Structure 1
């Protein structure tokens, strides 16, 4: 018994982490981010053992936490096409086709992480794979909520504003009208 008491007093917890980058890949992009949104999500992960569909006491693991998700939407700038009107009636028109708005990034803000509740059962621990799946689901739900609340519509409107600004630097706004159309979704 004395050895256990002595060991408990001198034993400590050790946490270590190590890693290295194993691959780097660069690619040219022509993305124009035109709208960003930050969402805050609360996530609950639970896992327990059941017998006859009834939870067995002392077997529940449960995490409740929040994360912010930073989402950016925009267009592929290299897919923008434009042309000047080619008839007497349209010679002062500039026709611009804007590509479909897409999500450029949806990233968890790791610094925003807050634990609201954490309990772990040795009988049913939540695995890293399950936790990773929960984080993917959190990000997907944040993205879907952002889109449902107008992310793509706002990104398209701002893309048109930015493109107009670029074009009117070369073609005076008092002499030309810009007529936008959107690429058909593929």
Structure 2
């Protein structure tokens, strides 16, 4: 597995309209931050192994890494600014939708910064070391193939 730690700022705003006119006194918003971690890894239950004794090759077929979890630490919540407009209070649903967006954004950033590539490499190192402990050293070459 590989973990990507993040701190992110969430901004939410809502304003009521009358026809197409925005009513400024109804503007509600909040600005907050959260810490969290994105975890990525390989599903080892889908790994296949084939041994070619004559060629001295062990081929490991494995799926690519995937994001397993996005965990936001609720204790890290910091509210920097909150404004409730007239007749437009901030609701639990507003906070919840901001968390959903935060999770999506954190996952995208983690992938952009290579969390899946690092998880793939960690899995290859682990498997290569495991195979090396089971077979005679130098007798087999370990090759990886995509599932």
User: Is the structural similarity TM-score above 0.5?
Assistant: yes
- For the residue of structure 2 that corresponds to 1:104, the secondary structure is strand
Gaps of 5+ in 2: none
Which structure would you say has the larger RCO, counting Cα contacts within 8 Å and 6 or more residues apart? 2
Q: Look up the SS of the partner of 1:178 in the other structure.
A: strand
Q: Name stretches of at least 5 consecutive residues in structure 1 with no aligned partner.
A: 1-33
1:50 Cα offset (Å): 2.8
**Residue 136 of structure 1: aligned partner:** 100
Larger % of helix: which? 2
Larger radius of gyration: 1
Q: Does the Cα contact within 8 Å between 1:42 and 1:67 map onto a contact in 2?
A: yes
Where is the strand percentage greater, Structure 1 or Structure 2? 2
Q: CA RMSD in A?
A: 1.6
User: Does the C-alpha gap of structure 1 residues 177 and 106 become closer, same or farther in structure 2, counting only changes over 3 Å?
Assistant: same
Residues 80 and 99 of structure 1 are in contact (CA less than 8 Å); yes or no, is this contact kept in structure 2? Answer: yes
Q: How does 1:95-114 map to 2 (within 5 A)?
A: 95-114=59-78
Which residue of 29, 45, 52 maps to 1:62? 29
The aligned length equals 147
Alignment of 1:45-84 (within 5 A): 45-51=12-18, 53-84=20-51
SS in 2 for 1:169: helix
Give the TM-score normalised by structure 1: 0.73
